[in-house]
Chain A
């Protein structure tokens, strides 16, 4: 038995997985509610409980994400890009392009057959291409974030967003509501705008045969469909897109071969 935990403490959600060698035993996902420290403790605790294990049974803990610096127990931290690369290679070994749509940023990673990072592009300092814009617009439209996709796929006439900035996109969405445009068309328009932005990132690393999407954005069916349409390819989606980074964190920690128990 070699128990390892992987934690991905993102800006909105905390994720933890427990693995025994290469098998995922359990996972937990919860919002961090403004405290990375509490979220990291609680998410690990819950994942351990689900696996029927206790903290002292863990051989190693790997971490990643914006909030990983707030973790106080011993851990091995790695970059989000490398962890996503490893995690997605574990979940979907044939994939060579990973699109991760997170809250803070979107990343396009070219992955080797061993799950290493061959290349990557990150959208810099711009919320318009990341999951944050989905949260912003869901609030403006008073639609649950989880329902955005269902609205989007029923749209027959996506509106065209003239801006690529999230601040202006919010204003633009409000204007479209005032004009009486249907929610589904506004949401589909937003998805289209994001998909075009992400596609330009994919072009920088050059597209491959097998592509996948992960992160919170992968749970938005409307975004996935729109991306598939813009890219002209089917995208693979893991069963639980939130945990790919946490799996990668656990795997990378084991790679370092630092065992602390």
Chain B
């Protein structure tokens, strides 16, 4: 046995991915600086660029508790917060991000809202308000309500229509949804104007939107480049690169950074340089990653030649908003609504084609398996997350039925290391190699293209 210490975090394969973590540090540092300067700060959920963009246009500095949860997990310092939340009566089946955040908030509250010295990454300062969003997940409503009580700050929740496939195609349904979302955003603007005592800066908002579209266009083009064989980037690269495009796409620095990401990935594609030296298997990952043990994927790459070529639908930038949707739209709130709605429904045609529901977390993978030539799906069900779990068995069945692509199931958690078993993951992947070989042969016989 060698003395080499096992690394838990991923080394990443792209230089830009190694640098992307700086954006996470920037988010926290900017919020703390703003707090020191007496500027407004809010904690925001991932809201797919709805309210966050508006708040930033009003001069509010944002922190992202979900990103903070991922960070605490990645440095393996989430467990004390999880324990602390659980000791306050939060069940261990509650979202890992929520438990981490509630534990942190309880500590913050008990320290008279002075960030504890030992807070990972320097910690998040007390917010002026909390920005929640109803998209995707039901646990998120209660999580932020709970935070509001710990800190005695207002919570604003943006509702997001969860459209079923059949409903999406009902005449007029989409426009009704957009109208609803615009109304939600307008009320949020009023809330902010009252809270901050100033008027909305519409020009600033439009500029930010323009930057978002440009950053996301690049992020989307990087996704397209990843279809190449061998894959120029892998899941661990993406999970770092997503920080700028998911949280700061309106930041000109993120846009400049993504130009470099694109160049790096394009260079690898043009020169047929794979992210991993010996790509033998191409896998997809669904849905939320085990942030505490990303080094595991490096081990799979080294041991079996597995490249995780696509992953985590909900973190990806959507394809650009079609011109037909943008034409004649002068209200930035409507543009925001249309864009977020587009993110959640752009795979509706795929869902319709395969007569399936829901679109989210499921239909995108049906496109991806073909486009990215996927040999197998890694399913990561989470005891603490229903939305990212309940679709997995359905997806697993669909991939097998429609494409003869097998899946391996490894249970775990995004933040909670205590319920993840690395050895089990290795044992399952070891066995899964044969399964992928077998179905590769079946696909060949049945005339699939990969």
Contact = CB atoms under 8 A, between A and B. Distances in A.
Interface in A214-251: none
B424 A120 contact: no
Interface in A120-171: 120-122, 124-125
A112 interface: yes
A112 B435 CA distance: 10
Interface string B425-450: 00110111011011100000000000
A118 B400 CA distance: 11
A80 B423 CA distance: 13
Contacts of B125: none
Contact of B431 (A82, A112, A124, A204): A82
Nearest to A81: B431
B190 interface: no
A125 B431 contact: no
Given A124-B424, A125-B421, A116 B431 contact: no
A124 B428 CA distance: 10
Interface string B303-328: 00000000000000000000000000
Contacts of A81: 427, 430-431
A124 B411 contact: yes
A223 B431 CA distance: 26
B51 interface: no
B406 interface: yes
A117 B376 CA distance: 14
Given A79-B430, A124-B411, A118 B424 contact: no
A119 B424 contact: no
A118 B438 contact: yes
Given A79-B430, A79-B431, A82-B431, A116 B424 contact: no
A119 B406 contact: yes
Interface in A83-98: 85
Nearest to B429: A79
B434 A117 contact: yes
Contacts of A119: 406, 435
Interface residues of B, number: 16
A117 B424 contact: no
B430 A116 contact: no
Contacts of A80: 427, 431
A11 to B, nearest CB: 13
B417 to A, nearest CB: 14
Contacts of B411: 124-125
Nearest to A206: B400
A50 to B, nearest CB: 30
Contacts of A78: 430
A117 B431 contact: yes
A203 B431 CA distance: 19
B392 to A, nearest CB: 12
Given A79-B430, A119-B406, A125 B435 contact: no
Contact of A120 (B393, B435, B437, B439): B435
Contacts of B427: 79-81, 122
Given A124-B411, A125-B421, A118 B430 contact: no
A120 B431 contact: yes
Interface in A62-119: 78-82, 85, 112, 116-119
Nearest to B407: A119
Interface string B410-427: 010000000001001001
B438 A117 contact: yes
A42 to B, nearest CB: 23
Contacts of A118: 406, 435, 438-439
B438 A116 contact: yes
B155 to A, nearest CB: 36
A80 B427 CA distance: 8
Nearest to B428: A122
B411, B430, B435, most chain A CB atoms within 10 A: B435
A82 B424 contact: no
Contacts of B428: 122
Contacts of A116: 434, 437-438
Contacts of A112: 438
A116 B431 CA distance: 10
Contacts of B438: 112, 116-118
Nearest to B400: A119
Given A79-B431, A81-B431, 19 more contacts: A78-B430, A79-B427, A80-B427, A80-B431, A82-B431, A116-B434, A116-B437, A117-B431, A117-B432, A118-B406, A118-B438, A118-B439, A121-B409, A122-B424, A122-B428, A124-B421, A124-B424, A125-B424, A204-B393
11 contacts: A81-B427, A85-B434, A116-B438, A117-B431, A117-B435, A117-B438, A118-B406, A118-B438, A119-B406, A119-B435, A121-B409
Give the 8 A-B CB pairs with smallest separation, nearest first.
Answer: A81-B431, A117-B434, A79-B430, A79-B431, A116-B434, A118-B438, A117-B435, A116-B438
